[in-house]
Structure 1
Amino acid sequence: MSCSYRHPQHRYRNYLLVTVLILLGLPACRSGGPVVTSVISPTVALTLTQPTPVEVAVATFTPAPSSAQVILIALPGSDIAKTAALQATLSELAEQDGVSFETATDLDRLLLTPDTRLVVAVPPDPGIADLAAANPQVQFLAEGFPDAQVTSNLSIIGAGGERPDQQGFLAGYLAAVITQDWRVGTISQTDSPAGKAASNGFANGVIFFCGLCRPAYPPFIQYPVFVDFPPGGDPQVVVDALVGNAVKTAYVPPGVVDVALLEALAQAGIQLIGNGEPPPQIANQWVASIGMDEMGSVRQIWPRLLAGEGGLNLSMPLSLGERNAALFSPGRQRLVDRVLTDLLAGYVDSGVDPQTGDMR
């Protein structure tokens, strides 16, 4: 029989090993970390309210009216229609630029102050050259003074005067363009260079378009027809002469101002070319108006004069207004406008001496 013996040291070693293992296992029995208590706070709903906009008054700046002044000198005897047109144009331009405007009809009451910026004058001559020389700080504009001379503060529009030869030429061309068989005529006043220039210019304008202008059917008359109308003449005599020569379109130059004559011509069925605004009762027979574009020249030169620029010299170009589309079609208008442009540019000449009215 065999017996095994273990040394007490082995037993102690085993006790020690078990004890160490027990001690190492105790921490694992504890919780893995500190206990955390969660506290849930009540939810607070926030409402955002947009602030009410506050209106802030913003100061606006309104410029004070300018003290600058523009004066139109129109002495007794001045052309009423021309003066009225100038008053309307200058008043409009002055209002746009914030300057005051007035018309002077008496030189004794004319007062030029340091605020006077521009003085415009129409015939009769108020002594515009002397006024300009005595007031060098003011700009002056002479409208339609043939003998005026440009100076540092005196500007001129239409120093050469009107061109009745060019007006007549354009009227003759227009009449021939719109009239069948070129049956056209003009009312003439050959007792003055202007009247003669208008008649001869009209004849050259007609010929410029139609050459010999021979009608294709009776009456076989050499056109254009000229009928003299002296001041105080009988309008019916003129009407009978034009109607008797089968004239369909007639030119009434600026020197012939007779409403009764115009009405009689319109009632006879004659188409009219004239100057200015036609009377309402004959508007249906009015083809167009030919005149000098004075107001266009004033508008063109106005800003330069207000800026203090002087010594300007502008001619008065022809204008073609009051166009009646029922009698003057757009195609024919373009044709006449082309000749007007060439006439003003000097490519086409009226063939008339504007000083004497005679053919060149």
Structure 2
Amino acid sequence: MENGYYRINKNLIVFVVGMIILLVSACSLNQQEQYPMPSLTSQPMMTLTQTETPTSTPTPLPPVSVLLAPPEADKVIVNALQERLSTWIPLEGLRFQILPSMDKDDFKVEQYKVIIAVPPVPNMNSLVLAAPEVKFLAIGFDNLIQAPNLSTIAAGENLLDEQAFLAGYIATMITPDWRVGMIGVADSPLVDTARKGFINGALFYCPSPMGVCNPTYAPFYEYPLYVEMNKDASEADWRSAAKYLKGLAVETVYVMPGAGSDSLLNYLAEQGINLIGGKTPPSNIKDHWVATLGFSPLDALDDYWQEFIGGSVSKNVAIPIEICDINQDLLSPGKQRLAEEVLADLTAGYIDTGVGAKLNTEE
């Protein structure tokens, strides 16, 4: 009995275990069907490509307009030009620069549009020829070349004779016994114009059928007198010219533009000679400076600028004469008024300077 029971239990155990295995297998199959294993598929690999970083194209700078003003240039004129041009130039879309000098190689490294120059610029002609595409405006120069890209604002020959005429008139009017003289530049193409204008201006104040002003008292020399030296003469040579006039009792001298330097003016003043010239004198000689018969280019520039910047080229603009730097101890208000009347008549053409023709002094 016990053995039979054991066999039954053993069979029962085997049966139960078998059933459990079947149930577990069925659950496992169900789980596999319910949660299938994901299939592994190959994914394409990402490749990195280098892209060029965009760069901005630089905006080209606008062309340049230059005020060419050497250190020796008239500072009053330079300052007035700088004030005007620093306002006018940007309105044209140009950059503005002030340079003390330039040479032909500068045009290879910068784009220049307009150059306004004041003297002295020794290589002015070569600059004009080296850059035919650049517009030049030369203010106050003498004897420049003619070129299609060059305009000038200058006194020129016609106004130099008026300056010299007025200088002769004023010198003779203020000097006792007409003792006046002129220092000129012998190798200047305008020296004849200046000399004749000065002599005729003196004779306009002291008309004489003999063509000279004879003094009343000794020493008896015939005035007006003149002496001329080459432009490149030494300082000693210019002093010799001054001594020559001093030795002939000259008391007032007209110094032609370009004659000598400030050293000559200083020496003449030291000799007690009164002076008339075309530019503002050094401050230390103002006691002997009668007046400046200057050519002020600023009014002429104001009138011409729009025409020039608008496209006008190769035009010569005349500068009017003005009487300034007046020493009223030497040129009294009454005599100044007479001088201004003569200047007005010269400008209007009522008085002929006689340069190139005989002056009629009988009127």
TM-score norm. by structure 2 comes to 0.64
Gap runs ≥5 in structure 1: 1-66
Query: SS in structure 2 opposite 1:81?
Result: coil
Cα distance change on mapping 1:79 and 1:211 into 2, 3 Å? farther
User: Is residue 92 of structure 1 aligned with residue 83 of structure 2?
Assistant: yes
Shift of 1:198: 1.7
Equivalent residue number for residue 317 of structure 1: 320
| Match of residue 103, structure 1, among 85, 89, 98 | 98
Equivalent residue number for residue 35 of structure 1: none
Cα distance change on mapping 1:261 and 1:107 into 2, 3 Å? closer
Question: How far apart, CA to CA, are the structure 1 residues paired with 2:242 and 2:126?
Answer: 41
Query: SS in structure 2 opposite 1:201?
Result: helix
Moved more, 191-200 or 122-131: 122-131
Residue type at the aligned position of 1:71? V
Cα distance change on mapping 1:175 and 1:159 into 2, 3 Å? closer
TM-score norm. by structure 1 comes to 0.64
Q: Is the 8 A contact 2:155 2:295 kept in 1?
A: no
User: Is residue 349 of structure 1 aligned with residue 352 of structure 2?
Assistant: yes
Shift of 1:340: 1.6
Shift of 1:266: 1.4
Equivalent residue number for residue 7 of structure 1: none
Equivalent residue number for residue 148 of structure 1: 146
User: Is residue 81 of structure 1 aligned with residue 73 of structure 2?
Assistant: yes
Q: Is the 8 A contact 1:175 1:250 kept in 2?
A: yes
Cα distance change on mapping 1:126 and 1:295 into 2, 3 Å? farther
RMSD: 3.4
Equivalent residue number for residue 247 of structure 2: 244
Q: Is the 8 A contact 1:183 1:246 kept in 2?
A: yes
Query: SS in structure 1 opposite 2:125?
Result: coil
Shift of 1:285: 0.5
Question: How far apart, CA to CA, are the structure 2 residues paired with 1:159 and 1:275?
Answer: 11
Question: How far apart, CA to CA, are the structure 2 residues paired with 1:140 and 1:258?
Answer: 27
Q: Is the 8 A contact 2:182 2:253 kept in 1?
A: yes
- Report percent identity of matched pairs: 36
Shift of 1:166: 2.7
Equivalent residue number for residue 34 of structure 1: none
Equivalent residue number for residue 178 of structure 1: 174
Residue type at the aligned position of 2:106? R
Shift of 1:172: 0.5
Residues 117-136 of structure 1: matches in 2 within 5 Å? 118-121=114-117, 124-126=124-126, 128=128, 131=131, 134=133
Q: Is the 8 A contact 2:63 2:111 kept in 1?
A: no
Question: How far apart, CA to CA, are the structure 1 residues paired with 2:127 and 2:241?
Answer: 41
Equivalent residue number for residue 112 of structure 1: 111
Shift of 1:313: 4.3
Question: How far apart, CA to CA, are the structure 2 residues paired with 1:186 and 1:300?
Answer: 33
Cα distance change on mapping 1:222 and 1:159 into 2, 3 Å? closer
Moved more, 225-234 or 249-258: 225-234
Equivalent residue number for residue 186 of structure 2: 190
Equivalent residue number for residue 58 of structure 1: none
Cα distance change on mapping 1:252 and 1:325 into 2, 3 Å? same
Q: Is the 8 A contact 1:73 1:119 kept in 2?
A: yes
Q: Is the 8 A contact 1:170 1:202 kept in 2?
A: yes
Shift of 1:318: 2.4
Query: SS in structure 1 opposite 2:300?
Result: helix
Residues 195-344 of structure 1: matches in 2 within 5 Å? 195-212=191-208, 213-229=213-229, 231-232=233-234, 233-234=236-237, 237-306=240-309, 308=310, 310-311=312-313, 313-344=316-347
